[in-house]
Amino acid sequence: MTTRERLAATLLASLAPHALVISGARVPFPEPPDEPRPLQARLAPPPKARPAAVPGPAAKPKPRPPRRAAPAVPVVIAESPVTIAPDPQPEEPVAPAEAPAPPAAQPEPEPPPPAPVRSLPRKGRITYTLFYGSDRFDVGTVVQSWEVEDGGYTLASDARTTGIVDLFRPQRLRYLSQGKVTERGLAPESFLISRTRRGRTDVARARFDWSAGSLTYGYAREPNSAPLPAGAQDFISFIYQFSLFPPPPGRLRLPITTGARFETYEIEVLGEESIETPIGELKTLPLKQVARAGEESIEIWLAADYRYLPVKIRHFGRDGNLSGEQVVSEIQISEE
């Protein structure tokens, strides 16, 4: 290549990317290739002509049939020499070769199994510090614990006031959920909420009759019943149901009983968020109940690095203001 040709090639290579940038096209940048090898060219002599055939003794040539052009066919390279058999005689027909046995019938493919459910540790305990209001006044502790055994589960949440608040306004709040662990997650069978304050204890219960498709709930003095839709949860089991099946971002609706009521929560699933906690910075999946006027609501953060267990929960009152927040201080799990 002459100097002038090299200069022209360099100029073209420089103009090409500039033209793409000016036109607004997006240029991908692949990984750099290995160092290219220099091109080599050589002149080869033309192939030698075959020597002309030496004519044999003079003989009267036989007339050859007119030559017809054969249709183009693909070339197949046989793995072994091909033998061409003579045409069979009519009186001695040749039996056709035995056709190979058809392959054994394959069984119909089974439908894919459902997405594997995440498993809760066999035993677990999460301790939270309980704060009151937007001023985050430390007022108590919350302990959530569970045990999974023989296909069943027991899940409890116990909150109590501490310190000076416990001296003047002691309160106790307990949730207890029991049921089965299925391929679809938690299927509660009974739920209890017990609240003690000012020396008075109120208890509400819910019972899930999955075979009959009915739910009974409420206080003993005013029981209620309702049809039981598939996937219904109670106020504590629904949190751990999301631990087993972390949902993608978006909105979903879930029937939930608080023991005293039965309603459908509309829940917004947000994108991943990092939060600071006493056990370190955690990547979390935030879930927020869409608030309705005059109704309480809840927000939950599930820790991606801790099996999507709940590490922060916020409660909002009927006025929409923050009434309480519980933040994880310790997580203990066991498979024994």
Tokens of 318: 């009927």
pLDDT tens readout for residues 197-207: 888 999 999 99
Residue 233's H or E segment, with its range, is: strand 233-234
For the chain, which domains are there? 123-334 (2.50.20)
* pLDDT tier, 335 (very low <50, low <70, confident <90, very high otherwise): confident
Under 8 Å between Cβ of 275 and 285: no
Rounded to a whole number of angstroms, the CA Rg of the chain reads: 40
Give the Cα separation of 34 and 218 in Å (integer).
74
What is the per-residue pLDDT for 2? 54
Give the Cα separation of 328 and 307 in Å (integer).
14
Tokens of 158: 């116990």
Give the Cα separation of 254 and 233 in Å (integer).
8
* pLDDT tier, 17 (very low <50, low <70, confident <90, very high otherwise): very low
3-class DSSP state of 6: helix
Mean pLDDT of 37-61: 46
What is the per-residue pLDDT for 198? 85
N-to-C CA span, the chain: 77
pLDDT tens readout for residues 138-167: 999 999 999 999 999 999 999 999 998 888
What is the per-residue pLDDT for 14? 47
To 5 degrees, how large is the angle CA 277–CA 318–CA 288? 40
pLDDT tens readout for residues 78-99: 333 333 334 444 444 444 445 4
Long-range contacts at 208-211 (CB < 8 A, ≥ 24 apart): 208/179, 208/232
Mean pLDDT of 52-75: 46
Residue keyed to tokens 């793995």 = 79
What is the per-residue pLDDT for 36? 41
What is the per-residue pLDDT for 111? 46
Look at residue 168 and tell me whether its pLDDT is greater than 70.
Answer: yes
Q: 273 versus 24: which is more confidently predicted? A: 273
* pTM (global) more than 0.85: no
Amino acid making up residue 272: E
Distances (CA, A) of 29 to 15, 16, 32, 178, 299: 17, 14, 8, 57, 43
Under 8 Å between Cβ of 333 and 121: yes
Chain centroid, CA 14 distance in Å: 46
Give the Cα separation of 191 and 187 in Å (integer).
11
Give the Cα separation of 123 and 333 in Å (integer).
6
> Residue 139 pairs with which residues in a beta bridge?
none
Q: 152 versus 136: which is more confidently predicted? A: 152
Residue keyed to tokens 């002149």 = 43
To 5 degrees, how large is the angle CA 270–CA 258–CA 321? 55
Give the Cα separation of 201 and 7 in Å (integer).
93
Q: 211 versus 220: which is more confidently predicted? A: 211
* pLDDT tier, 135 (very low <50, low <70, confident <90, very high otherwise): confident
Residue 167's H or E segment, with its range, is: helix 163-168
What is the per-residue pLDDT for 104? 55
What is the per-residue pLDDT for 75? 34
Q: 50 versus 230: which is more confidently predicted? A: 230
Q: What is the DSSP letter of 44?
A: -
Residue 8's H or E segment, with its range, is: helix 3-23
Kindly report the number of other CB atoms within 10 A of residue 328's CB atom: 24
Given phi > 0 = left and psi -120 to 50 = alpha, else beta, which region is 183? alpha
* pLDDT tier, 175 (very low <50, low <70, confident <90, very high otherwise): very high
Strands 152-161 and 222-227: unpaired
Tokens of 145: 């614990």
In the chain, pLDDT over 90 holds for what percent of residues?
55
Tokens of 265: 């929560």
Q: 10 versus 179: which is more confidently predicted? A: 179
pLDDT tens readout for residues 248-292: 999 999 999 999 999 999 999 999 999 999 999 999 999 999 999
HSE, side-chain direction, 13 A CA sphere, residue 55: 5
- What is the pLDDT of the chain when averaged over all its residues? 77
